[in-house]
Chain A
């Protein structure tokens, strides 16, 4: 008698895998997963051995977005009476009303399908709340300052002369501003190794960055990574330049080539708007996380 035993191990995908996978992090079922919808999810519900299917799209499953104030002064977001949670499973709390409203507006903007790649403020808040890579303030400051060695504004070209002139005209003022404001020396260079940044400069910046709180640092690092420049990030966060100007300065060479060779809308414009929205989100995030507003009324006289 031959007993045919087809032992097919049914592997349940664990929660751990869900949260560490690239998409699972953004779109896990913990994120207010409502009455099971027709979502193509990992086979943890069906338990069969179908191959891994990527979450293709998530429909908008809520009607209203509102915020509510919780104890401690933080704000929560409600999607249709349910509280919003981060991908890590924690309750989503924003430290102030402005940020909460901005995030609520992001969720409100979604029509039909949720486009998580456009919800930058939500992503930043989730990163700040979950801290999935468990970074400390020091690690983030070190990573941010590393960008200074390869700062966009410090790398100049030798030719063509019109580009050299453009870079000097546009980038030098910002460099001068930051050198004056922080009393540091940065300089620029045309060599492949880049400028020599003295240690005192780095120390000054490190000290300045330590004064920011954790949330602001996350936003700041985001802006630095997007703009590929510490100088521009500081200029933006210190409100010396606007978002559009920062993006323009960051993409200066690209804009120069576009002006010379022409614009390709489906590549250049998409990049431009994406960079603008990310940078704007980062700048706003830093602003909201580091501001505190009080109202002092003047006593009316007479």
Chain B
């Protein structure tokens, strides 16, 4: 089984990773105790070549790889990608373009009305019966004539 480092190194590596994760409390963490116990357990057997020992070593090697590569992946991601996205305007400005303005200005979503039964549009009221005069257009005249 080429490429496997000695059990001591693997154990040390895993414990170092756990310490990096947990900080000073690492001795009390579940993972630490379990890993320690496993290494102890596999040491006890007196056999020269023990298949279970090899398997346990391989598994612990994989776990060390998992912990360290996850840590490095996050570190690299934070370094290169985690700066937060620049805004759209800034990105456009980099290449010398401008973002087109929304026709309704900001907050157009609130003014947008969908699935209405009746809508006021350009001085008319439009609904399923057709287009009608908007009473608001003539309200000034009718009310003032009522007053007379």
Contact = CB atoms under 8 A, between A and B. Distances in A.
A8 B115 contact: yes
Contacts, number: 118
Contacts of A274: 69, 73
* Shortest beta-carbon contacts, A-B, top 7: A280-B66, A276-B69, A266-B80, A273-B73, A277-B69, A105-B31, A280-B65
A242 B4 contact: yes
Contacts of A283: 62
Contacts of A242: 3-4, 58, 61-62, 65
Contacts of B34: 97-98, 101
A7 B80 contact: no
Interface string A1-14: 01011111100000
B144 to A, nearest CB: 20
Interface residues of A, number: 49
Residue among B21, B63, B69, B114 with the most chain A CB within 10 A? Answer: B69
A245 B116 contact: no
20 contacts: A2-B135, A5-B118, A6-B116, A7-B115, A8-B115, A51-B109, A97-B34, A101-B31, A102-B63, A105-B21, A120-B70, A239-B55, A244-B3, A266-B81, A270-B77, A273-B69, A273-B73, A274-B73, A276-B69, A277-B65
A5 to B, nearest CB: 6
Contacts of A6: 113, 116
B59 A287 contact: yes
B1 interface: yes
A130 interface: no
Interface in B54-107: 54-55, 58-59, 61-63, 65-66, 69-70, 72-74, 76-77, 79-81
